Structure 1
């Protein structure tokens, strides 16, 4: 944990998005259940998952790193969830609310825990349908208000939905899961504390999934119009509170590297920050910001991502 956090600092990042699983938050299993967890971190001998999360938050704070908690899955061993919603056959909405309420209470006093990413990539949901069990926008309001009732200072990250069936359908240029915020201005998320809302789309290139627009003769110059339709337009209705929750890809592929360079340029131009997926190099189709030795930087990605400005967290420490 120490060496990886030191790498995050050395690479110039100021924050971590930490994925969690609802069933593990509920059961709080022993760390020994995970291969290598204690062998690599002796201080976790006999500890449970939330103890490990406490330690991560503490060590991140010692290094002036912010932490965004991300409810990444409902079930740790299942991805993708068949329903793609904030509930399934094993977990109701109330379970997710209870977990977030507990986490908000547990970390409200931790200055560097800045937000709750309510659910990763709710790709089976609609946005704006008005149906209780279908409209992710309405569910995000309920979940976000529950978090804020417990810890009013936290930021509430709300991702987009997926593709059909969604409202509205984003035409032939399908969005990535979590990237469809096309209706976020016409059907906005209304929290009891509006200034806590952050819209957080996910966007990837051809190393993650094939899209028709990656095959267009104009690629990659056609991407900005697609991003504006999917999520960029929300900058006009979200008071600038838009953070790309996931981006990245396999920079060894020329077509994906072109995508990443183009996206970083768009983010620079629009003043949008983001979280790179992922730190670890064994992340399948995206690889990582660390090279295969888990210590040094992927030099190509480092060159691309250093173009994004990074604020000094130490300036705001204690006032987040």
Structure 2
């Protein structure tokens, strides 16, 4: 009997050690409270949980399902349940999950990239998504579905976005809306699916220069220009059409609407303000998104540091200077929570590299680490702003090591403890 008890204790100890390693629990933070069994909604610039209490969406993007492998990356290395357990144990309450319209419409059979998940081999892609949603419900995570692209990304061009607008010849707007409606119907009884990120990064197609002509004719616009509305390019109106179709099926979903890349501004030399794809929400004051169901709208800019592109505002960068930049593009929405155009902000993509100390902790004038710590400070001082770190991935869809992932290449630990510590400081 004594030997049996000793054996049992040893097994429990081993199991616990393995569980911590797989969860990547290098942070001292306790796992988050259960995210609630209900849906979330908005009030002014706050997101509220099912009990009416303010809640911050602290998410990670887990990409890969938008590729022609049809599954999130990492499934060659770890069971999907272990990856999702890691997300929860590290303190996040949601996963942003990109997908393609091609996946929804074809529902293809999965044939590869699932070595650690043999039950997914020969399964249909939507069955994989069903499993992820069901497990999220079980462990208290929320899922935000992100329509990342129309045609799935192929291996040779896995991260190249082919469409500036929310539609293309192969995937017209009516299909885009129909696919969203289909997903709303499929998951209408699962409040693990908390919201829909309607389209990833509406922007302006090249080539430049980025001027008024490019804004009006080469991609997504927001609202009328000089009184004229172009319904084929007005992202705001398209977002309203898709949102209202979705909310007719499930009125409880949060609707995340991203911004645009360019917007007319006569003060600028080229006649337009230019920023990151989806990063400009300036026209919201005059032309807000109006939904058939109130208290479900969230605006979602994306923002990046100098590693992505060396814009002029990164020279002599400071917290005050970056606050001015953000306020001019999107954070102004926090100023007036009682205005008719008010809605919460969710920083749907931001991130940094994981290749060295210059990415996170070694702050030097105008470098990536300095920018990253500035945006972490902003999030620390504005707890009502939600966010999704890009990305969870230790590898991309081609199983190549990622240089910006929260997890390592084996998907079993965090890649940079300092990165996790910074993100943990703004999870609540």
Aligned: 1:9 with 2:88:
yes
Match of 1:278 in 2: 391
Structure having the larger proportion of residues in helix: 1
**SS at the partner of 1:184?**
helix
Residues 84-115 of structure 1: per-residue CA shift (max 9 Å, x gap): 00111211100001100000000111121100
1:249-302 Cα shifts (integer Å, max 9, x gaps)? 115335222112111211222221101110012358861111233211121211
Deviation at 1:45, TM superposition (A): 3.0
Secondary structure of the structure 1 residue equivalent to 2:200:
coil
1:177 matched to 2:177: no
**TM-score, length basis structure 2:** 0.67
The Cα shift of 1:240 comes to: 4.6
- The structure 2 residue matched to 1:125, chosen from 217, 220, 225, is 220
Shift of 1:231: 0.6
1:259 matched to which residue of 2?
Answer: 371
Match of 1:153 among 238, 243, 252: 252
Residue 205 of structure 1: how far off its partner (Å): 0.7
- 1:18 paired residue number: 97
Task: Identify the range of structure 1 (166-175 vs 15-24) with the bigger mean alpha-carbon deviation.
Answer: 166-175
Instruction: Rate the CA distance shift 1:103–1:275 in 2: closer, same or farther, 3 A.
Output: same
TM-aligned CA distance change 1:171 to 1:231, over 3 Å: farther
CA contact (8 A) 2:299 2:343 kept: no
Alpha-carbon RMSD across the aligned residues, in angstroms, is 2.0
- Residue 346 of structure 2 corresponds to residue 243 of structure 1: yes
1:169 and 1:99 mapped to 2: Cα distance?
38
2:267 & 2:279 partners in 1: Cα distance?
11
| 1:94 equivalent in alignment to 2:197 | no
**1:102 & 1:160 partners in 2: Cα distance?**
24
Query: Is contact 1:67-1:112 (8 Å) kept?
Result: yes
Q: 2:418 and 2:230 mapped to 1: Cα distance?
A: 45
Q: Does 1:36 align with 2:113?
A: yes
Query: Partners of 2:317 and 2:256 in 1: how far apart?
Result: 33
Could you say which residue in structure 1 is the equivalent of 2:380? 268
Whether the aligned pair in 1 keeps the contact of 2:243 and 2:255 (CA below 8 Å) is yes
Rg larger in structure: 2
TM alignment of 1:95-244, pairs within 5 A: 95-123=175-203, 124-129=219-224, 130-163=229-262, 166-167=263-264, 171=268, 174-214=274-314, 216-219=315-318, 221-235=320-334, 236=336, 237=339, 238-244=341-347
Q: Secondary structure of 2:147's partner?
A: strand
Runs of at least 4 residues of structure 1 off by over 6 A?
Answer: none
| 1:301 aligns to 2:419 (yes or no) | yes
Greater shift, 285-294 or 153-162, is seen at 285-294
TM-score by length of 1: 0.89
- Structure-2 change in CA distance of 1:286 and 1:243 (3 Å): farther
Using CA pairs under 8 Å that are at least 6 residues apart, name the structure with larger relative contact order, 1 or 2: 2
What SS does structure 1 have at the residue aligned with 2:189? coil
> Is contact 1:167–1:183 with CA below 8 Å preserved after alignment?
no
1:165-204 Cα deviation digits (max 9, x unpaired): x345894873211111111111100111131111011111
- Contact 1:273-1:308 within 8 A present in 2 as well: no
